[in-house]
Structure 1
Amino acid sequence: MSAKLKQAIQIAQSLTPMERLQLLQTLSELVQESDRLGTQNQVFWNPKPIHELLQEQKVPVIENLNSLAVDFWQKGESEEDFLAFLQQQRKSEPIESL
């Protein structure tokens, strides 16, 4: 038994019964939280296979690329016009303003 643990037990012996219960509850919560973090850590470092994730997340299968087409592109606006506009916006708005 470490010196710190012996000291903690000595201090705990001087507590009232209600304070001891509060201490036990707090220690129990700390242990549970530590266990939860351990589980979360294990889940993070051992990811699920991609086929399981696909089943869980119900990722739609794109069978027709036309279904991804957008309808908000203005007629007569070329790709070059859009890129020039985008470049101008990036120069005029500093990142800090975002």
Structure 2
Amino acid sequence: MTPQFEAAIAAIQLLSSTECQQLLQILTQSNSFSNSQPDFTTLSTQFLQGTTLKQLLANHSPTTVDHLQGLAADFWPEEDSIEDFLTFVRQQRQEAI
């Protein structure tokens, strides 16, 4: 990740849930996204109005995963060990209690 991207993520994490939703709405309506991107406002409204799974499937074309390897991503920084990450997660959970 670039320093600008890391700074943007850090700034977004400070936003309230309402601000995050507003940001998401702005980003999805901007020209930087193609028309094939989902309309999150509509999807949220449908979800909250109790749209059934069958209705959602009729309106959208979900993709299927044939192999779990297709979901694998190569984004884990080499300098970070999984043990350090798990230790961090455990510490965060203990602090939350």
TM-score calculated relative to the size of structure 1: 0.34
The answer to which structure has the higher helix fraction is 1
TM-score calculated relative to the size of structure 2: 0.34
Higher relative contact order (CA 8 A, sep 6+): 2
